[in-house]
Structure formats: structure tokens, C-alpha cells
Amino acid sequence: MRLLLQHRILLGYIILIAVIGSMAATMLHERGRVHKIELEATQIREANQTINAAHRHITILATLGESAITWDEEDFQKYQLRRQKVDSLLQILQRDYGEFISFNQINTFRVLLANKEEHLFHTMKIHQRQDSLLLEQLPLVTEQATSFRTVTRKKKGIAGFFGAKETVQVPMQSNLLHALNRQLISRQQQISDNTDSLCVQNKELNSKLSTLLQELDEQSQTAFQNKEQHIKESYERSAVIVTILIISVIVLLMVSYWIIQRDIRVKEKTKERQEKLIEQLNKSVQENETLIASRKKAVHTITHELRTPLAAITGYTELLQKEFSKGNNVHFIENIQESSERMRIMLNTLLDFFRLDNGKEQPRLSPCRISTITHTLETEFTPIAMSKELSLTVKDGSDAIVLTDKERILQIGNNLLSNAVKFTEKGGVFLTTDYDNGILTLVVEDTGTGMTEEEQLQIFGAFERLSNAAVKDGFGLGLAIVHNIVTMLHGKTRLESKKGKGSRFTVEIPMQEAEEVPEQEMQTYIHRKKKNLKVVAIDNDEVLLLMLKEMYAQEGIHCDICTDVAELMELIRRKEYGLLLADLKMPDTNGFELLELLRSSNVGNSKIIPVVVATASGSCNAEELIERGFAGCLFKPFSISELMEASDRCSMKATPCGKPDFSTLLSYGNEAVMLEKLIAETEKEMQAVRDAATQKDLPKLDALTHHLRSSWEILRADQPLRGLYGLLHNGTTLDDNALNHAVTLILDMGTEIIRLAKEERRKFKNG
């Protein structure tokens, strides 16, 4: 497995950090060893100093010992103190420096010094006794030697011969002197013997001491040399280790640099290849996107172009059906109408799929009753199932009111039931709906042909048609649309099927429970002919315009038609219309540009006329168009009933003359009070609108617009509010001029409401 460049660099840094860490650890270790060696060197120096001191004191002791015969007690004490000092030094050497000097040698040395001290002490004592003998005996002997006794004797010579006597002094006898001499000689002999013995012993001691000192010197010198050699080797080893580490780091850095440079070169080459490949891929993607865009554009264009003539076909068929009430013509027209309807459904399905696939659809949530959805599906598919002699079993498990996209849920059920009925030849179809724990469960089960596991994996793909669908109508988009809708609603779909046994589709969609269904959603539309409604229509297709004019004519409504904007503006200048029907895509001016032109012009009632947009494009939905300022939307092809419904709903937003209509408000009775309250509330609300516009408080303007619409819709004067609402919610940067214009329209309408309300109030007071 090849490592990435980043990983190699990281590995190199890790190894480098490890080596540097090892270097640091080694340096610290070597520093500790050097410190230890320095301590040992200090110890050697101290030992050497102690040995030298001991040697010096021993030499002094030897010198002092030579004069032992002349010692007195004081001299001996000095020698003894010196010897004790030497003994203390020897004990220190024995205790602290045993690795340099032998323990036994030190003991022997100490014993010899002690013995020598004892011999010297004896020598001193002998000489002291000899001296004391002389001091004690010599005066006595001297006295005896110098004393005389008087002796009478015969004289010598002739006189003596004749017996003459004389008295003479005769010295005392020298026995004591002889005894002293003998004693001194004996003592001298003893001293000499002791001295000889002491000399022999001292010589022996000195010899031993000399030998010991020589051995001590040799041992200490050997130990010192060993230590110095050890220190030298340690320093050399430390230097070698540090050198090796430094060289290793340098080599590692060079190797890392080489590896990184090699990888960078490889990466650059790879990057160049990747850039070329990416460039090729981008080129391919652009080509594919262009191809896809052109395909989508082609599909949209084809469907748009097909829907426009289809609208004419459908419309004229419906007109013909009313003209001919009997004969084969009715049958032919019905066939044409049925084929047109099938074509319209397929085109709508195709456009619906593309909108869902491109993510252009968003859920439009509103409260609805689950049982209503179930009942609608049952009502629609019961006759279809009966036509194939199939049973349709419906089980409605909930009557809850939920907040969901009702049309999309119906579309899911419609597609599933349509497939179930289409591919079931005998048996039945089962529909089950339930709501529990915030989940809507919709189950469609059939006893049809079923699917293999391989077919089940393909069935939700776009344009997938199984073998049993080859002769059936459709594009193969029904289940793909179901899957996309369920995904959009954050739900999930499960399929269980066995070949030849049937299929079971389960759809689960999360949704919140609502409190109640708004009344307007439960009301059914009832068309009311309005003879006074004037309609103007603009389209670049004259065939479609003529069809529109004829449709309105059959309903008793006058419709003027035109194909360009200049003609439209001239018609609006001459006449006030209650409704404008405009095509969204026109070659010169599209529907959006036309709406902007009308609202910015001051021609007739162009600022307030409701504009219903008619389009064959599936690129936008009705909600988006209404948010942009249109009063309503018609998707081609449309029927007369759809046209009339849109016309009635949108024309109700304003009276033909663009003035407020108080008829609905005053139908509740108590007219004067109602008008008084309307005047007061409108004045207060208009002041609030002025303040919000002055302060540029857009959220407040939005809230006021929402608040005013509920009351102004009753007066059929809410068109300016719709214009401001579209301006606030179109998602683009808000233009100050457009905002001021929209606010001015609201203030003008408010002023008009107040003025007309005051006139009506006067009528009731005067009446």
C-alpha cells in the first residue's frame, strides 16, 4: 500500500522527532555520565590530596622518630598527636577511598605506626631512666669521691724510720663510684641492647612503612590512571555517540528531503495527469450538461408546443360538442376529446416528473382530512375497477385532520391505484389508509401479475417499463413520480411482490396533525355567470385567442383579443376590463415583463387589473406565479370549466371599474355601524402602513398586508395588497421605487375605500 505524500512527510517528521528525542536523551545521559565522571575525578583528586597529606605526615613522623632518644614527654605527645592525625587520615582513606587502597594494607599500616610509637616510647623511657640514674647517683658518688678522713701514720723517710707520725687527709674509698660505673655500664648495655632492638624494629617498621607507602602510591596511581582512562574513554564514547547521532540526523534529513522531493515530483506529474483528466471530465460533464439541458429544453419545448395546439383541439372539441347534440358527430368528437385528454395527461406526467427530478417542486402544506383523500380515490377508481370487473376494497382507518400536501398525496394514490388496476386482470385491488403516531400509511395491494426481484429493483426508475407493460399507455414514469414525491415529503416506500401472486405497495409519510379544515377548502366551486365581466386576452397564437373568445362567448362574457403589447395598452386605455388573460411565453414580451409594464404604467386600470397567466410550460407552478404578482394561473390545455373557474375567482378580486364593492359587507345588516367601523379601522390601518413605509419596516408591512387582505377581499379591493405581497416575497433585492409605488397604490385604495364608505354612510343616514 503506497503512502500518501502527506503521510510520508508526517512519518519523516515523526522519525526526525524520535531521533532528536534520542539525541536529547543521549546528551542528557552523557551529561549525567560526564557529571558522574567529574565527581569521580574530584574524588580522585581528594583521595590523592588525602594520600599526599598522609604521606607528608608519615615523613614528618619518621623524621621525629629519629630523635626519640632526646625526647621528653612533651615531644612524645607531639609525636603521638601527629601519629593520631595520620591514623585519622588513614581511616578516611579506608572509609572513603577503598577502591584505590586496600583495606588490609591500611590496617597493617596503622598497626605498624602504633607499634613504632610504642617502641619509640620505650626508647625514650630507657634514655630517661639512664639520665635519672646519673642524676640520682652521680652527686652521691661525687661527694664520696671528694670527702677525706684524717689518718695518723708514720712519716715516710728517716723520720718515719725513727717512728715519727704525721696526720694526713686520706680520700674516702671509691666503691660507690665503681658501683655506679658498673651500674652505668650495665644500664648502657641494656640501653644499647634496647636501642639495637628498637633500631631493628624501627628499621623493620620503616621498611614495612616504606613498602606500604610504595604500594599505596602504586595502587593509587594505578587507580588514578584507570579512572583517567575511563574518563577519557567515556568522553570519547560520548563524542562518538553524538557524532553518530548528528550524522544520522543529517542523513535522515537528506533521505527525507530526497523522498519528499521525489514524491513531490511524482505528485506534480500525477497532478498534471489529474488536471488533464479533470479537464477532460469537465469537458465531458459540460458536454453532458449541455446535452441534458438541450434534452430538457427539447422536452419542454416539445411539450409546450404540443400543449398549445392540444389546448386548441380540446377547446374546439368542447365547443363542437355543444354545437352538435346528436348523430355520429358527437361520437367522433368524444373520441377526439378522449384522445386529447389522454395526450394532456401524458404530457402533464412528463412535465411533472421533470419538475420533481430537478428539485423544483416544494410541498404545499394545508389542513385536510384523511378520509376525504380516501373517499376521493375510491370515487375515482370504483368505476374504473368495475369496468374491468375487478373489486375495489377500501379501508379507511382514520378520520384525522393532518397538515400535508393533499394534491401530492392524491397523486401518489392515483398512480399506485392506476397501476394496480392496469396490471390486474382478475381478482381485486385493495386500498388502505391509516394515521398513527404522526405517520400516514397508504397501502395499495393487488392480485395482478406481480414482479420478480430483479424487476422490483428496476420498477422505481424513470422510463422503466416491464415486459407486461409493452401494450399499455404511458411513459413508465408513474412509480418514479411516486418515489420522488415520497422523498420530497420525507417519507419512504416499500414494495412486496411475488411473480404471479400480486404486489403490495406501502407508503409511509410523516405529517403533523392539524386542528381543523378551513371552510374554503371544503367548499365546492359553483360557476356564476357574470354578464358585466369584460375580459381581454393576449397571446401570440391567434388560434388559441379565437378559441378563448368563443369559450367566453358561450358563457355570455365578452372577450377582446390581441397579439401584441401595444394593442393591449390601447384596449386598456379605451376600456376598463375586469380581467386580463396573458400567455407567459411570448416572443416579444413575456408575461412577467407584461405584468411589470402594467403595474408601472398609468393607463386605464393597468395598475390594478387582475392578470391571469396561461402557460404550457412546466418549469413553474401556480404558487410561484401568484407570488410574482399574478392573480391566477391556467395550465394549457384547459377546459371551459377550468377557464370559467379561474376567471370567476380572479375577477372577484376587483370590480369592473376597479372600485371597492360594499355589497357583501352590507348584506349582514346594520349598514351605518358597519361603514363607520370600516372608516375608522381603515384610517388607522393606513396610518400604520404610512409609518411602516417611512421606517422601511418590511416585516411590519408584510404583517399589515396579511391583516388587510382578509377584509379587503370582501370588498374585492385586495389587488394592491397582492402586488405588495408579491414584491415582498419574490426573493430578489427590493427596489425602493417599486416599494413606494406599491405602498402608494395601497394608500390610494385605502383613501378610495374611506371616501366611498363615507358616501354610502351618508346615503343610509339620509335614507
654 has a pLDDT exceeding 50: no
Instruction: Determine the pLDDT at residue 657.
Output: 43
Strand pairing class (611-615; 632-635): parallel
C-alpha cell at 524: 365546492
513 DSSP β-pair partners: 402
Instruction: Determine the pLDDT at residue 740.
Output: 86
With pLDDT > 90 as the criterion, what percentage of the chain qualifies? 7
Q: pTM score > 0.75 for this model? A: no
Closest alpha carbon to 194 in 340, 68, 26, 101: 68
Q: Which residue has the cell 718515719?
A: 160
Q: d(Cα 190, Cα 749) in Å, to the nearest integer?
A: 161
Domain ranges of the chain: 23-147+178-257, 331-521, 528-651, 663-766
The per-residue pLDDT for range 494-515, each reduced to its tens digit, is: 999 888 889 999 999 999 887 6
Instruction: Give the phi and the psi of residue 37 in degrees, each rounded to 5.
Output: -65, -40
CB contact set of 404 (below 8 Å; sequence gap of 6+): 363, 365, 366, 368, 440, 489, 509, 511
* DSSP code string of 301-359: HHHHHHHHHHHHHHHHHHHHHHH--SSHHHHHHHHHHHHHHHHHHHHHHHHHHHHHHTT
Closest alpha carbon to 607 in 762, 720, 749, 450: 720
- Kindly report whether the peptide bond that precedes residue 637 is cis, defined as omega within 30 degrees of 0: yes
SS3 579: strand
* Single-letter residue type at 707: H
Burial category of 536 from C-beta neighbours within 10 Å (exposed 0-12, middle 13-18, buried 19 and up): buried
The per-residue pLDDT for range 111-145, each reduced to its tens digit, is: 877 887 777 777 777 777 666 655 555 555 555 55
CB contact set of 451 (below 8 Å; sequence gap of 6+): 459, 466, 495, 497, 499, 503
656 has a pLDDT exceeding 60: no
CB contact set of 202 (below 8 Å; sequence gap of 6+): 65, 116, 119, 120
pLDDT band, residue 191 (cuts 50/70/90):
low
Instruction: Determine the pLDDT at residue 672.
Output: 79
The per-residue pLDDT for range 602-632, each reduced to its tens digit, is: 787 888 889 999 887 656 677 788 888 888 8
2 has a pLDDT exceeding 70: no
Average pLDDT over residues 422-447: 91
Average pLDDT over residues 544-568: 88
pLDDT band, residue 471 (cuts 50/70/90):
very low
C-alpha cell at 48: 590523592
pLDDT band, residue 560 (cuts 50/70/90):
very high
pLDDT band, residue 524 (cuts 50/70/90):
very low
Average pLDDT over residues 328-350: 65
Establish whether domains 331-521 and 528-651 are of one fold. no
C-alpha cell at 585: 411565453
* Single-letter residue type at 468: N
CB contact set of 511 (below 8 Å; sequence gap of 6+): 402, 403, 404, 438, 439, 440, 489
The top-level CATH class assigned to 331-521 is alpha beta
With pLDDT > 70 as the criterion, what percentage of the chain qualifies? 70
Instruction: Determine the pLDDT at residue 235.
Output: 73
Of the segments 170-179, 481-490, 723-732, which one has the largest average pLDDT value? 481-490
**Radius of gyration of the chain from Cα atoms?**
67
Q: Which CATH number fits domain 663-766: 1.10.287, 1.20.120, 1.20.1410, 1.10.1740?
A: 1.20.120
User: Do the Cβ atoms of 307 and 349 come closer than 8 Å?
Assistant: no
The per-residue pLDDT for range 14-69, each reduced to its tens digit, is: 877 887 787 778 778 777 777 777 777 777 777 777 777 777 777 777 777 777 76
User: Do the Cβ atoms of 167 and 150 come closer than 8 Å?
Assistant: yes
Distances (CA, A) of 227 to 28, 51, 92, 223: 22, 16, 20, 6
Closest alpha carbon to 336 in 348, 309, 318: 318
- In CATH, the architecture of 528-651 is 3-Layer(aba) Sandwich (3.40)
C-alpha cell at 291: 446535452
